[in-house]
Amino acid sequence: MHKCFKLLTLGVVSSFDVACMAVYCSQLVSSSSSHHGAMPLRHCCVVPELAAQSHLHQANSRLTTAVCFSVLVLATRTSAACTVSPGLGAAVEVGLSLALSSLVNRRCSAVAHTSAHVAAIGWAMAAIVASGYTTRVIGGIGAQCGRATLLPQLDDAMGECIDKAARAIKPNLAMHSSLAYMAEAA
């Protein structure tokens, strides 16, 4: 007989001008997003301090919902896992995971999110990373069948660039929305 495992997940996507959060437990429990599109109209740019305040307000709201909902399933918690980078989203997930794991006296495992993207392709590439206004992967070299191939990629999200290059190197990889989730789940 198989045990049925329920996974309580707080998903956080946070960029310079938007934050989206959702709580899942077999289904969507709650979600929210905050956008700062009007901020440049008032201040001529996105003000990091104001954006951070809005992100934290949304994070606190989602955390409250997640913890309240988790009371219904705390007895089934066996462990907690969280990503440890990058950004505010990771800080929120780490906090939630540590809180839930301490409530039920279970271990908390940390996963290096960017490393998980790379691990998903079996270390088959090297990426060239440029850091500026945002960190961008501007190219990658993949080794397959003894050949090196230049794989130009350009995206604000480093993980997405790595995923795109991975799919070019290994076309048989599943077209999952994020290869890192596959690596983290393994």
**All domains in the chain, ordered by first residue:** 8-111 (3.30.420), 122-178 (no CATH)
Distances (CA, A) of 121 to 22, 62, 78: 27, 32, 29
Q: Are 19 and 91 in contact (CB under 8 A)?
A: no
Q: How far apart are CA 142 and CA 127, in angstroms?
A: 9
Q: How far apart are CA 113 and CA 143, in angstroms?
A: 23
pLDDT category of residue 28 using cuts at 50, 70 and 90 = confident
pLDDT digits (tens, 9 = 90+) for 70-88: 555 555 556 666 655 555 5
C-beta neighbour count of 90 within 10 angstroms: 19
pLDDT digits (tens, 9 = 90+) for 125-184: 555 555 544 545 555 555 555 555 555 555 556 666 666 666 666 666 655 544 444 444
User: What are the structure tokens assigned to 81, written together?
Assistant: 């896992």
Residue type, 83: T
